[in-house]
Amino acid sequence: MRTLLATSAFAAAILLQTASAATLTVPSLTVLGTDVFSGPTFTVPVDYSPTDTLSFTVSGIVSLQGGGAFGTNAAGVVVVPGSAGVGQSAPNGSTTFGSLLLGNNVIPFVQLFATDASNGLGSANPPTVLAFSDTIGNIFGSGLSAGTVLEFRISDINTGDNGGQFSIRPDDAGAVPEPGSWLLAASGVALVAGTRLRRRVR
């Protein structure tokens, strides 16, 4: 009986301790090459702290010139040549042309993937599938409040000859449940322990 209670208390303590690290899940979305001035959105369901994470995978190519030319991956690295060759990039202010951005009208839009060698810069065969994972604090400089609407966009200055798309899918592997889920699990462990204790006492 004491062993059961001690084990249950230990499990609940671990669950509650781990609850401080949650992952904001991005729904499956499609971001078109024309989504320069507005794009698909999703709503933050609960409060997230700066140490919580955002994780997802993006695949595909967006093109910023006619005929599918100047096609980039989500880091803005050229995969299909145009005015820049494969493995190159072009700056667009503080971002890179063709890169995937996230933000809203209050939170400045940020480029999610770095335009660097890890994402294909300088490569003769840059990847078209990129995995993203970082803390919310590193991305936005602070946490996110429940109800915040975030929007994906493409870095460009017009949409006249844009094409292609990025497909975003949630990265559920290794995701840590939200704090509410951990509390529910801990409550379940305590309930089972209490039920077993009552049966043994009878």
Residues 82-134 pLDDT 10s: 999 999 999 999 999 999 999 999 999 999 999 999 999 999 999 999 999 99
Above pLDDT 70, what percent of the chain? 74
pLDDT at 171: 80
Residue partners of 93: CB distance under 8 A and separation at least 6: none
Cβ contact 100:31 at 8 Å: yes
Is residue 41 pLDDT above 50, yes or no? yes
Averaged pLDDT score across all residues of the chain: 85
Cβ contact 6:190 at 8 Å: no
Q: Which residue has the tokens 């915040």?
A: 148
The CA distance from 32 to 54, in Å, is 21
Report how many helices (DSSP H) and strands (DSSP E) the chain contains, helices first. Answer: 3, 13
